[in-house]
Amino acid sequence: MGPLHITDRHELSYRDQHLDVDFEHKTALLDAKPLGLTRKEYDLLALLVQNAGEVVTRETLLERVWGYSNQIRTRTLDVHIRRLRKKLGQHNSAYIETIFSVGYRFQPFRAPRVVQRLAPAMALGA
């Protein structure tokens, strides 16, 4: 049906302290209660969650969730992001970050923020 085929990672679900996304059944729970996402909202959240910790560009989102080729000017992504955040309630801003002029990034709840660990310094006097 949808233009979306998520196979980047083969996780069956995502779970953290508050959010629970079941990729098999395409459902999402927040604090154990159904989020009641629409199709597009779910697709959007799923794509972000499956790339948790990494920026997903607007272009990618529009292509994978909407099937839009580039160069299409629309605000529908913004509107869906807004509704997603609304349904995520208190945690919304912690979950979905805006990367200005690039896209959005889903951050796991209270996740370690460091993408790449600092290696033990090669410092002389360390």
Show the DSSP H helices in 57-97 as ranges.
58-66, 76-88, 92-95
The stretches of 8-110 forming alpha helices (DSSP H) are: 39-49, 58-66, 76-88, 92-95
Q: Does 84 bind DNA (CB under 7 A)?
A: no
State the Cα angle at 32 between 29 and 15, rounded to 5°.
60
Among 80, 88, 91, 95, binds DNA (CB under 7 A): 80
Is there binding between residue 45 and DNA (CB under 7 A)?
A: no
- The closest of 38, 36, 16 to 28, measured between CA atoms, is 36
Residues 50-109 within binding reach of its own copies (CB under 8 A):
54-55, 100-101
d(CA 9, CA 71): 28
What's the min distance (Å) between Cβ of 32 and its own copies? Answer: 6
- Give the interface with DNA as residue ranges (CB under 7 A): 38-41, 58, 66, 74-76, 78-82, 85, 98-103
- Give the interface with its own copies as residue ranges (CB under 8 A): 3, 13, 15, 17, 20, 22, 25, 27, 29, 32-34, 38-39, 54-55, 100-101, 111, 113-116, 118-119, 121-125
